[in-house]
Structure 1
Amino acid sequence: MNGDSGLHLVVVPLMAHGHLIPAIDMARLFAERGILVSVVTTPVNASRIRAVIRGIDESGLPIRFVELPFPCAQVGLPEGCEHVDVVPPHLFANFFRATALLRLPLESYLRDHHPRPSCIVADVWLPWTMEVARALRVPRLVCHWISSFAVLCYHNIRRQRVRESISDDSEPFVVPGLPDRIVTTRAQAPGFFDAFGWDDIYAQSVEAEETADGLVLNSFDDLEPSYIDKYREATGKKVWAIGPFCLGNRDRASKAVRGSQASVDGDGCMVWLDSMQPRSVVYVSFGSLTQTQPSQLAEIGEGLEESGSPFIWVIKDRERTPATETWLSGLEGRTKGRGLVITGWAPQALILSHPAIGGFVTHCGWNSALEGVSTGVPMITWPHFADQFLNEKLLVQVLKTAVPIGVEAPITYVFDKAVALVKREDVSKAVRSVMDGGEEGEGRRQRAQELGKKARKAVDEEGGSSQENLTRLLDYVSKLCQAK
């Protein structure tokens, strides 16, 4: 488990699928360069990614997982509440206080275990890691798990105090300092900590970024080049785009268990897709955090049926309730042979990489958006909260590889409503636009496929931009270590 490079990187992600998954993917990239990587997690989170850990152990990569006990009781959290998607909304602040209590245990662990860390690579949402780095006198890099486009938007809105000059959440404004004219609202670009009124945590996260020795992006140069350059210029820091991290999972087995153990047989899913025509199937999934209400589920199902396209639709365990069973059973009966409903965790990376997939209905979380980009699949955008509306603008307006479903106002997994915001005719229309879009649709598909080729070139080919940026990052860390 010892790397041969002499470097030891400590990766500290937030305990959420959208952060933990790319962090492990990034750790693979480091380890493939012969670097020892320690990924910090907690017992419950480690159990959730046990299949991933087992696969890494079998690969022989120098990655070790450090399980720190999570102090639920100390902050009033129920035992086992170690992951964002199981935290009750009214206890979110408690959860982030609990993460901060990992500072001293992590510092103690790193002091007591060999080898000494060379660098801490930390989640921007865990600002307390800057204290660990200072105490150990090691450099610290900050990771953003969202697009450079969204990061730059947030940065410019904050720096130019745009939010303070707007009185209404739905009032449109132009984001300043961007290469393109992007109009948004305060509701669509809320940030996170500031949106919840956690001013102290928000200020700490800003300080964590501003005091970092460098910034890491899960993106690639050809995807958003002007936005990466502008972000580098705006921060005055070293910025490395070394993604898409998801492409580090090159074999079928790694794709099948990426993030968690799939709730369906991956082979069976592939056999079903093998029976479909190329680019004929639309894949529908809204990530790990959103919770869709029964009325909205019904509209999605009816819309998929009306579209006429074969589909794979992922529904979470907690969404499949007695209220949904009758109509869902009827839908599955009427669409038998062209519809596949998956309940639970789906092997998304494996599904999207299949040639039968022709479109992707997504919530625009950055991991999902990058998986769509990397596989060259045009998308239907249905953002819900956080950075997702900004990612939609990147996909639809800048890259022109997606069609919007038409949602304008956030509806979160925290404050969801019982009414359906998107009607079945909207779903059906959007699916037909992407799957049978004529000349305009073919242009969109060609742009998506070209971006997919560029993504794979960046990561896989010698001299690819992400490979070169990773080399520059590691050289920089080595020099910082020598200077300490």
Structure 2
Amino acid sequence: MASLGSSKQLHVAMFPWLAFGHIIPFLQLSKFIAQKGHRVSFLSTTRNIQRLPPSHHLSPLITLVPLTLPPVHHLPQNAEATMDVCTDDVQYLKKAFDGLQHQLTQFLQQNSPDWIIYDFAPYWLPPVAAGLGISRAFFSIYNPWLLAFGGRWFEELIKGSRDRKKMEDFVAPPKLLPLPTNICFRKHEVKWMLDSSSSLNASGVSDMYRSGMILQGSDCMFIRCCYEFEPQWLTLSEESLHLPVIPLGLMPPATTTNVGDEKDDAWVTIKNWLDGQQKGQVVYVALGSEVMLTKTEVRELALGLELSGLPFFWALRQPAGNSTSVELPEGFVERTRNRGMVWKSWVPQLRILNHESVGGFLTHCGWGSIVEGLTLGHPLIMLPFLMDQGLNARALVEKQVGMEIPRNEEDGSFTKESVANSVRLVVVEDEGKMYKAKARELSRIFGDMELQNKYVDDVVQYMEKHTGVASSAMDG
């Protein structure tokens, strides 16, 4: 445990949104803060806390605080995270999440933490914390391009304006961006943006309004990025959000050589298979735990992998909130048995990415997966589906670390040919050498633990310095 020097020990409360893509980075940040000698209270629902990685990895300075998620009509029993529900039912999870306000307020009143670090969702939390004199930080797991893209829109929503509600507002880079960029949404992705600006969901509050109120009520924002990777977008997000934006670094995985138990049965089986493949030829396919592919998408992706002729390892998990089982094309498993493996339960992703047979990563472009892939220097074959993933893909295409699988602009559909061509181009064709070289180049930033740890040190020092100087009232 690091010495605190002359600083007093802080008590920091952490309150992530109910998605494991959010919960895990919050837990990771909790560990960093505890390593500096500060106390952390990590608040989430009972079932989510039970599903965290084994607690023996946690510092004794971290206390897990279970909250009881109130029942909500239409929300399945024991559904406490986005992975437990289909996309259309996340609105009921948000309604239940808002029902945690009383329990959280009681915790803050009784424990008086110095800081609370929260996610985009609890729009009601900043005024509660401000009234108790608690310093407030929004931890954005999203990238600065999404925040810069949406910054002016957040302001409009808070003020009651709905000017940006046409598709044309999103399928081109914002006019006011002072950067040469092609980062924007595709037509098939815009529906989510327009839906998220609407209040017509079960919680009665839009995602954009939530984010806007969080930004307006926070003392600062922590963001999982670094200046060595994206200096211009970080600066732009601070200017557009009118808030101190403090980068946390990329928070890469702590180790890439000893990332699990060698005796783990799943890893032994997977490793034996990978050991039998040609070096740098395997395509690792993983689209996260929450992407729910349609039958057509599963078919085209499977047939594309088959058509590519390359060996592949496909982590094809059944999302918990989806009652229909994932159906692979008839005969696919038999036809690809000698060069493909489809794994339908949890996989040790870091270990797989760290194996010398892997030559490319077909990813949904969730930021955590991208960090892991680029930390290990893998070129990317990008197939984004949700939220910020499309913008992430376009940003990484600009960085030339991979290519995005071509899709129909209107409906987002893709073909087996587009999958096969993209996979082959990145992994084995001459053009892919550039992507591999750029990915290895970026890995020197993503995997520089000394550099990335310095960012976390700076954030903790910022918290030490600014404790107790939070604004005591919300800006009107």
Residue 151 (str. 1) matches residue 147 (str. 2): yes
TM-score by length of structure 2 reads 0.86
Q: Deviations over 1:102-145 (max 9, x none)?
A: 122122224334xx412001002222221341243110100111
Q: CA distance change for structure 1 residues 407 and 33 in 2, over 3 Å: closer, same or farther? A: farther
**Aligned to 1:131, which of 127, 146, 154?**
127
**Aligned to 1:141, which of 123, 134, 137?**
137
Residue 71 of structure 1 and its aligned partner are, at CA, apart by 0.4
Aligned to 2:473: none
Residue 239 (str. 1) matches residue 240 (str. 2): no
In 2: Cα distance, 1:481 partner to 1:255 partner: 40
Q: How does 1:369-448 map to 2 (within 5 A)?
A: 369-397=370-398, 399-409=399-409, 421-438=413-430, 440-448=431-439
Residue 6 of structure 1 and its aligned partner are, at CA, apart by 0.5
**Aligned to 2:213, which of 197, 204, 207?**
207
Query: What amino acid sits opposite 1:173 in the alignment?
Result: A
Q: CA distance change for structure 1 residues 197 and 291 in 2, over 3 Å: closer, same or farther? A: same
Q: Which moved more, 1:287-296 or 1:223-232?
A: 287-296
Residue 355 of structure 1 and its aligned partner are, at CA, apart by 2.6
**Aligned to 2:91, which of 82, 90, 93?**
93
Residue 171 of structure 1 and its aligned partner are, at CA, apart by 7.7
Aligned to 2:461: 475
In 1: Cα distance, 2:397 partner to 2:433 partner: 15
Residue 34 of structure 1 and its aligned partner are, at CA, apart by 2.1
Q: How does 1:155-304 map to 2 (within 5 A)?
A: 155-156=151-152, 164=163, 167-168=166-167, 172-176=171-175, 177-182=177-182, 184-185=184-185, 188=189, 190-191=192-193, 193-194=196-197, 197=200, 200-201=205-206, 202-248=208-254, 252-253=258-259, 265-304=266-305
Q: Which moved more, 1:152-161 or 1:224-233?
A: 152-161
In 2: Cα distance, 1:118 partner to 1:250 partner: 34
Q: Residues 298 and 328 of structure 2 are in contact (CA less than 8 Å); yes or no, is this contact kept in structure 1?
A: no
Question: What are structure 2's unaligned runs of at least 5 residues?
Answer: 471-476
**Aligned to 1:122, which of 107, 118, 131?**
118
Q: Deviations over 1:247-283 (max 9, x none)?
A: 2355634599xxxxx9x71232233223333321111
Q: Residues 225 and 249 of structure 2 are in contact (CA less than 8 Å); yes or no, is this contact kept in structure 1?
A: yes
Aligned to 2:32: 29
Q: Deviations over 1:2-32 (max 9, x none)?
A: 9966012111111112111211122222222
Query: What amino acid sits opposite 1:468 in the alignment?
Result: K
Q: How does 1:447-462 map to 2 (within 5 A)?
A: 447-457=438-448, 460-461=449-450
Residue 165 of structure 1 and its aligned partner are, at CA, apart by 5.7
Residue 84 of structure 1 and its aligned partner are, at CA, apart by 1.4
Helix, strand or coil at the partner of 1:173: coil
Helix, strand or coil at the partner of 1:354: coil
**Aligned to 2:100, which of 99, 102, 110?**
102
**Structure with the higher helix share, 1 or 2:** 1
In 2: Cα distance, 1:3 partner to 1:63 partner: 17
Q: Residues 25 and 248 of structure 1 are in contact (CA less than 8 Å); yes or no, is this contact kept in structure 2?
A: no
Q: How does 1:44-123 map to 2 (within 5 A)?
A: 44-49=47-52, 52-57=53-58, 60-73=59-72, 77-113=75-111, 116-123=112-119
Q: CA distance change for structure 1 residues 43 and 271 in 2, over 3 Å: closer, same or farther? A: same
Q: CA distance change for structure 1 residues 383 and 7 in 2, over 3 Å: closer, same or farther? A: same
Question: What are structure 1's unaligned runs of at least 5 residues?
Answer: 257-261, 412-419
Identity %: 24
Helix, strand or coil at the partner of 1:188: helix
Q: CA distance change for structure 1 residues 272 and 89 in 2, over 3 Å: closer, same or farther? A: closer
In 2: Cα distance, 1:37 partner to 1:17 partner: 19
Residue 188 of structure 1 and its aligned partner are, at CA, apart by 3.3
Helix, strand or coil at the partner of 2:237: helix
Query: What amino acid sits opposite 1:430 in the alignment?
Result: S
Helix, strand or coil at the partner of 2:163: helix
Q: CA RMSD in A?
A: 3.1
Aligned to 1:417: none
Q: Residues 242 and 469 of structure 1 are in contact (CA less than 8 Å); yes or no, is this contact kept in structure 2?
A: yes
Query: What amino acid sits opposite 2:239 in the alignment?
Result: E
Q: Residues 9 and 117 of structure 1 are in contact (CA less than 8 Å); yes or no, is this contact kept in structure 2?
A: yes
Helix, strand or coil at the partner of 1:92: helix
Q: Residues 15 and 116 of structure 2 are in contact (CA less than 8 Å); yes or no, is this contact kept in structure 1?
A: yes
Q: CA distance change for structure 1 residues 320 and 381 in 2, over 3 Å: closer, same or farther? A: farther
In 2: Cα distance, 1:144 partner to 1:133 partner: 18
Residue 343 (str. 1) matches residue 339 (str. 2): no
Q: Residues 281 and 356 of structure 1 are in contact (CA less than 8 Å); yes or no, is this contact kept in structure 2?
A: yes
In 2: Cα distance, 1:410 partner to 1:35 partner: 50
Residue 310 of structure 1 and its aligned partner are, at CA, apart by 1.2
Residue 153 of structure 1 and its aligned partner are, at CA, apart by 1.4
Q: Residues 255 and 347 of structure 1 are in contact (CA less than 8 Å); yes or no, is this contact kept in structure 2?
A: no
Query: What amino acid sits opposite 2:228 in the alignment?
Result: D
Q: Which moved more, 1:376-385 or 1:198-207?
A: 198-207
Query: What amino acid sits opposite 1:78 in the alignment?
Result: P
In 2: Cα distance, 1:12 partner to 1:410 partner: 37
